[in-house]
Amino acid sequence: MYDLEQYTLDKIIDVGSLQDIQDKYSKLTNLSTITVDRAGVPVIKPSNFSKYCNLIRTSKEGYRRCIDCDAVGGLKSSKLKKPIIYRCHAGLTDFSAPIIVNNVHLGSMLCGQVSIKEDNTKNSIDLKKLSKELYLPLDKLKYTLKEVNIVEYEKVKNAADFLYMFANLIAKMGIANITHSELLQETKEKMKFQQLARDIQIKSIQAQINPHFLFNTLNTMASMSLLESSNNTVELIYALSDILRYSLRNSDKMVNISTEIDNIKKYLFIQSVRFKDKLDYEINISSNVLDCKIPAMTLQPIIENAVIHGIEPKKEFGKVRIISKILSEKYIVFEIQDNGVGMGAKELKSLKNKMNSSNKDDSNISIGIQIVQDRIKYYFGSQYGIDIKSSINVGTTVYIKLPLVY
């Protein structure tokens, strides 16, 4: 087993991906966010920092206090293994969510830089003392403090819980990278033990699900610019929270088809709000298969492709249909249909080749299908998997064949 103590956060997680996650979370919540290592030192650029905090950090002493404060907040949340809310040294309210992999604290995501409405925390900050201790102009501190967001405590609490789910997903990304770098080497040395190689490959495939799904979901929500003017804001945040929770808890499990469908309904709800009158969907699943088992997140990536690559580029109204058929009382076939832009014969052939290739392609449209195809074949065998039919300007239908498992 690999020793996680030897790793730093920036060594196991791609910093570009981490920056993308952090930026989108900050845009989604309209809160300042930063990711730090065990010592409280930032590993990527901060997102949406307030002018007040940026000013504080221009002071050598202020920067030192900020680092110490972030480290203490991260360590405390790590020990408790949950998000915590606290006052920073400069008087603002922050919260911290630990990034923990196999009980090893790698760092934390910190968020906030706000004043709590109920406590009127702005007025309790001793700016004169802060100015003297940090050698910062008092007038600049007063000016930048005025621009600090005032939010209700309940919003901070909900955002902290939401951030903790993000931190868990980041931890899973770390596991995926370690799995590839450490266990793959072990596999090469022990290829004669085929079962070991198979188990490691399954873990590697499953570990890819969360980052891929997370980026697509975040892109959807971030593009909606927090939806401050939407009446569906609360419902959307709850739906997204449930989706992320589902992907965290179940990505390596078999779940009831009914559970998978409930998760898909929430995803399609988010997308239907995003596209307003452009997207409709229909789900028709036989009631006698709802208690059957399938690998979690089997249908989700395929439906994402239908929406993002089929319906979104289309100018006219689009629809996604999800239906199930039982064959010979032994198999179930899911059909995921869209009336989107479709593909020509050459593009379809290329996609099918990539889908069945052992080499992972980087394009968003094929990676999700490749992951689902690999998982199905590893779980059930080569006689099961995915087939695709498509025509330009007509749409695409993806067929997923699985055994009936109760």
Both 131 and 215 in one domain: the answer is no
Checking if the pLDDT of 229 tops 80, the result is no
Count of domains for the chain? 2
- The answer to whether residues 238 and 336 belong to one domain is yes
Same domain, 216 and 358: yes
DSSP assigned state of 231:
T
CA 71 – CA 297 distance, rounded (Å) = 36
Do residue 270 and residue 393 come from a single domain?
Answer: yes
Asked if 37 and 43 touch (Cβ cutoff 8 Å), the reply is yes
Last residue in a domain, options 164, 179, 197? 164
pLDDT above 70 for 11: yes
Distance CA 164, CA 339 (A): 38
Domain membership flag for residue 193: no
Please tell me whether residues 304 and 375 are part of one structural domain: yes
113 and 254, same domain (yes or no): no
Tell me whether strands 84-87 and 93-101 are parallel, antiparallel or unpaired.
Answer: antiparallel
Which of 129, 147, 164 terminates a domain? The answer is 164
Percent of all residues in the chain with a pLDDT value above 90, rounded to a whole number: 41
Average pLDDT over the chain reads: 82
Do 10 and 94 belong to one domain?
yes
* Residue 384 shares a structural domain with residue 235: yes
Q: Do residues 270 and 378 both lie within one domain?
A: yes
- What global pTM score does this model have? 0.63
Decide if pLDDT at 41 tops 70. Answer: yes
- Asked whether residue 200 is domain-assigned, the answer is no
- Residue at 178 is within a domain: no
Does residue 51 fall inside a structural domain?
Answer: yes
Distance CA 388, CA 347 (A): 12
Give me the CATH number covering residue 225. Answer: 3.30.565.10
Burial 360-369 (b: 16+ CB within 10 A, else e): ebeebbbbbb
CA 73 – CA 108 distance, rounded (Å): 9
- Determine the Cα–Cα distance for residues 221 and 219; give it in Å rounded to an integer: 6
The residue to which tokens 């190689």 are assigned: 197
In sequence order, the 6+-apart residues with CB closer than 8 A to the CB of 228 are none
pLDDT of residue 223: 57
With contact defined as beta carbons under 8 Å apart, do 42 and 15 qualify? no
Question: Same domain, yes or no, for 84 and 32?
Answer: yes
Whether residue 75 lies inside any domain: the answer is yes
What range defines the domain where residue 158 resides?
4-164
pLDDT, tens digit, 9 for 90 and up, residues 83-140: 999 999 999 999 999 888 777 888 899 999 999 988 877 888 999 999 999 999 999 9
Q: Within 10 A of 253 (CB to CB), how many other CB atoms are there?
A: 12
- Let me know whether 146 and 274 are in one domain: no
Would 257 be classed as within a structural domain? yes
Q: Are residues 243 and 370 in the same domain?
A: yes
Q: What are the Cα distances from residue 207, in Å, to 36, 91, 133, 172?
A: 23, 40, 47, 7
Percentages helix, strand, coil for the chain (3-state, rounded to 5) are: 55, 20, 25
| CATH number of the domain to which 151 belongs | 3.30.450
Residue 80 located in a structural domain: yes
The DSSP bridge pattern shows strands 279-284 and 293-295 to be unpaired
Residue 37 lies in a domain: yes
Assigned token pair, 163: 């951030």
